[in-house]
Structure 1
Amino acid sequence: MRASLDVAVAKPEAAAQTVALAGRLRTELDRVDHLLDGFLVLAQAQHGTLPDRTPVSLGRLAREALTARAPDLAAKKLTVDDVASSDSWTPGSAALLSRMLENLVDNAIVHNHEGGWIRICTGHGGVEALLVVETGGRVLDQEQVDRLTQPFERLGADRTGSERGSGLGLSIVAAIVAAHDGRLDLLARPEGGLRAQVLLPAAGEDA
């Protein structure tokens, strides 16, 4: 479909309307790509087979996710606090855990107000590795928050299929956490905003 669009707009006689239509169709194709990618990751995580388990640093993945989204953070004037203050390691799929961090950071950016803040902490306690992604913002309904791990569930007036995402972000996070024998807790902060807490098995010290 992309190739057909490229051929159409490359013709010398291509009308301005054709070029404009091609631009809109490319935007829709990007959204379809994003949605299909989300379905594939969700299916992989729900299948629960993780043949490539290796010790993974949650702190490193958090820093990588934030670095990749520096332009988005700057555009909203968001302040990032306490990034990976004390690292934690977990055995698992580096690719899936990276996607988990990316989705949590994306969610924290999209559902934040301009000039807001994001706090990301990692740590460990005994046999568990801890990751917390926390944001400020408007006061949320905990009953709505409890449903956010279901595919296509959104907060308030957010509309599935809008430019804000596919509605699969947190359901993918929940599936990845479950595939790694962990637990995801989503809590509406009394002061406003959301706290996402992930507990995963800690990697052994020999790792």
Structure 2
Amino acid sequence: MLILLVGSGVTLAVTSARLHALDGVSSAELTQAARHAARAGDAALGQWVRRTEAQYASLRVFLVDRAGRELLGRPLPVRLQDWVQLNLAQTVALWEGGPASAGPAVHRAHVPVPDSWWNVPAIESAGGGVHFALFLPFDSSAYEVLGVPHVLVLLFLCAVCVSGLACWVVARHIMRPVLGVQQGLRSLARGELGARMGPGLAGRSDELGALAADFDATAQRLQELVSAQELLLRDVSHELRSPLTRLRLALELARRGGPGMPAQLDRIERECARLDLLTGQVLRLARLREPRAAARAPLDLAALVGDTVADVAYEAEAAGKAVAWQPPRQPVLLHGAAAELSSMLENVLRNALRFTPRGGQVDVGLELQGGAVALSVRDRGPGIAPEHLDQVFAPFFQADLSRASGHTGAGLGLPIAQRVAQRHAGEIRLVNRAGGGLRVEIVLPC
């Protein structure tokens, strides 16, 4: 569109300039000059035509004889060809046999053609021939100006300049964001995980904006993963230091011998078991953070919950606690990894039993909610402070170690359960019960 507008403007400017170049030229002066040249014959008249057209680039002079032939042998424009076919014979007849009263000087000077806009001067040469002069400021087409060589060159240069400028603007519009993304990727490669494209680029509504937004999301996710790994490594180191310190102390006391040696050996055994449990939970959480999902298959969640409850209830009975489970009347089918789901429920149940006082009970329920299944675990413990409900899913987070006597957990049970739920496109929610205790609800798609 821009090239079309520029080309039209150039064409109109050239056309206007060509028209203004003929302001000082009249057909009467041209006729008089042509008759003067015709006194020397047709050759001199032809030379005059060439000189005149060279002097006035916008002017075309055509001299047509009685047979319709042009003096210089040039093809006639379409308009003149139509005039020759329709009016030449009548013009010749008027010139040869005009009214006697008009006199030769009149009818041999200008021949008015009825029903025509032409006023054709007749040019008699020295040899007795006659030509009818037709002066055209333009050719037969309205686009005659495009036939002028310098106009075509000018239009070509304008098209090249406009298209080059447009291409430069488009290329800059595209390359600047691409270079920004490239620079951001190089920053990520150098370990600068805080690199972002910013709202100016990510806020664009085109594909480059989507690319920048994806880059920011990727960089944010990488930063979160690296930060989580660093935090996990720091927390694991902190959690391992305490049992290792106790092990070292118990080992030193055991080396001294005496009646306290059996107690120290028991302490060493407990600390080793605690380290083994902690290491297993850390490894399980690390595996759950991997993007590769475990093998999944159709399974009956009700049967899986029943088996897990039976295993945990056996241990709860030994601690003076109980697990109440009312299975649904029909199977609850979903597609998932049985081992991961069993581990998730086991962690939640053990966590509930840990904070349930002796003689208390943990209730387990399973029900369908539209296209999802809700698994709930309700305990009679002290609950969790409202400000800590979202923080307990962080690895090793422990809001209050005094809530349960003999607490030996490392704070990895709920993070493992949340990760399993997320890998099954579900979610896990914690709600404090009105009568005391905590309700853990796990929602999974069927």
Q: TM-score band (shorter)?
A: 0.7 to 0.9
- Per the TM alignment, residue 71 of structure 1 is displaced from its structure 2 partner at its CA by 3.8
- Per the TM alignment, residue 76 of structure 1 is displaced from its structure 2 partner at its CA by 4.2
* Match in the other structure for 2:347: 103
Question: Which of the residues 353, 364, 388 maps onto 1:120?
Answer: 364
1:6-55 superposed Cα distances (whole Å, 9 cap, x missing partner)? xxxxxxxx976555433322211111111111111111222132241112
Question: Which of the residues 185, 193, 196 maps onto 2:429?
Answer: 185
Cα pair distance change 1:178/1:155, threshold 3 Å: same
Deviates more, 1:53-62 or 1:186-195: 53-62
* Match in the other structure for 1:47: 290
Aligned length: 187
Cα pair distance change 1:123/1:44, threshold 3 Å: same
The question of whether the paired residues in 2 share the 8 Å contact of 1:50 and 1:92 is answered with no
Question: TM-score, with normalisation over the residues of structure 1?
Answer: 0.79
RMSD across aligned C-alpha pairs, in angstroms?
Answer: 2.3
Measured in 1, the distance between the counterparts of 2:412 and 2:441 equals: 18
* Match in the other structure for 1:84: 327
The question of whether the paired residues in 1 share the 8 Å contact of 2:352 and 2:381 is answered with no
Q: Aligned letter for 2:355?
A: H
Measured in 2, the distance between the counterparts of 1:130 and 1:48 equals: 25
- Per the TM alignment, residue 139 of structure 1 is displaced from its structure 2 partner at its CA by 4.9
Structure-to-structure mapping, 1:24-173, within 5 angstroms? 24-86=267-329, 87-158=331-402, 163-173=407-417
1:72-118 superposed Cα distances (whole Å, 9 cap, x missing partner)? 32244334334333542321211111100110110111011122221
- Per the TM alignment, residue 62 of structure 1 is displaced from its structure 2 partner at its CA by 2.1
- Counting helix residues as a fraction of each chain, which structure ranks higher? 2
Question: TM-score, with normalisation over the residues of structure 2?
Answer: 0.39
Which secondary structure does the structure 2 equivalent of 1:47 belong to?
coil
Q: Aligned letter for 1:93?
A: A
1:22 pairs with 2:271: no
Which secondary structure does the structure 1 equivalent of 2:345 belong to?
helix
Which secondary structure does the structure 2 equivalent of 1:196 belong to?
strand
Cα pair distance change 1:164/1:174, threshold 3 Å: same
Measured in 2, the distance between the counterparts of 1:70 and 1:139 equals: 21
Measured in 2, the distance between the counterparts of 1:91 and 1:113 equals: 36
The question of whether the paired residues in 2 share the 8 Å contact of 1:72 and 1:109 is answered with no
1:113-167 superposed Cα distances (whole Å, 9 cap, x missing partner)? 12222111112233212211111233532222221111112242349xx753221
Determine what percentage of the aligned residue pairs are the same residue.
29
Measured in 2, the distance between the counterparts of 1:89 and 1:176 equals: 17
Cα pair distance change 1:158/1:169, threshold 3 Å: farther
Cα pair distance change 1:90/1:143, threshold 3 Å: farther
Measured in 2, the distance between the counterparts of 1:45 and 1:179 equals: 8
* Match in the other structure for 2:27: none
Structure 1 gaps, min length 5: 1-13, 203-207
Which secondary structure does the structure 1 equivalent of 2:286 belong to?
helix
Deviates more, 1:119-128 or 1:182-191: 119-128
Deviates more, 1:82-91 or 1:92-101: 82-91
Bigger relative CO (Cα 8 Å, ≥ 6 apart) = 1
Measured in 2, the distance between the counterparts of 1:151 and 1:51 equals: 22
The question of whether the paired residues in 1 share the 8 Å contact of 2:354 and 2:407 is answered with no
